[in-house]
Amino acid sequence: MKNLHDKVVVITGAASGIGRALAFGASGQGAKLALCDVDEKGLAETAELTGSADVITAKVDVSQRYQVEAFRDQTVKQYGHADLVINNAGVAVSQTAEDVTYEDFEWIMGINFWGVVYGSKAFLPILKTRPEAGLVNISSVFGIISVPTQSTYNASKFAVRGFTEALRHEMADTNLHVMCVHPGGIKTNIARAARMYVSPDGNTDKEKGAATFDRLARTTPEEAARKIYKDLGKRKGRCLIGKDAVAIDTLQRSMPEGYWKLAGRLFK
């Protein structure tokens, strides 16, 4: 999908970060937008900042299937169809596998994994009716490697990767192109909005943990959005964002068991 002009683009988690940048990027290409998030204020700001006359918004908790399906119905009622769906909404938990609560585990899986499943399945029949369509699911470099204190995040993002890759194979001979995205460190608020108990370097101070993330985050949301649309235009099945993501992917391939011996140094 090289041209988004007059296409209907659906984006979850559009109130900030990569989601907002994706909305800007699509609007700049003349797309019609359907945006959702739990943050109504941020969502309204995104809609206003895009400057697009063709935009609808909805407060949606993507962990709730009925809300995602209602958002799909709203989109179809407004535009008649959808051409591109980007399941971007995500959250983070930082805690050891031993100490993480089941409530936090269920919370992150509900948004990061089930939100992707609900968004994919809700729009899949509609996307398949279009002459050209795209489905983009956001995983992470933590869907490629696992990191101490990130077991819940790893589980959710590995699950997104597995689900999306299987779906891509299933849709290979159809009009629908499916792509899985693995961002590296992106300059967003995800670390500060996380349920942070202990960071990979053993820090229990949330601000210091967020500062470590900020130090490692080298890519802007706008750069991430441009890379997503560029790779989508090339019909790539997998999108790595940032030099750190490329390096991590290479490291995992060369040291599938011992990669943390090197990667762990980045967190110290």
Are 57 and 263 in contact by the 8 Å Cβ rule? The answer is no
Give Cβ neighbours of residue 149 (< 8 Å, ≥ 6 apart). Answer: 94, 95, 96, 197, 198, 199, 200
Which SS3 state, helix, strand or coil, does residue 175 take? coil
d(CA 26, CA 114): 25
Give Cβ neighbours of residue 111 (< 8 Å, ≥ 6 apart). Answer: 61, 62, 63, 89, 90, 91, 156
Q: Would you tell me how many other CB atoms lie within 10 Å of the CB of residue 115?
A: 29
d(CA 264, CA 7): 43
Question: Is residue 150 packed enough to be buried (19+ CB in 10 Å), middle (13-18) or exposed (0-12)?
Answer: buried
d(CA 87, CA 113): 10
* Strand bridging mode 93-94 / 176-183: unpaired
Distances (CA, A) of 186 to 153, 160, 191, 244, 248: 16, 18, 10, 10, 14
Q: Is 153 assigned a catalytic role? A: yes
Catalytic pick from 153, 197, 229, 259? 153
Are 202 and 268 in contact by the 8 Å Cβ rule? The answer is no
Backbone dihedral region for residue 52 (phi beyond 0: left; psi -120 to 50: alpha; all else: beta)? beta
Active site (catalytic) residues: 153
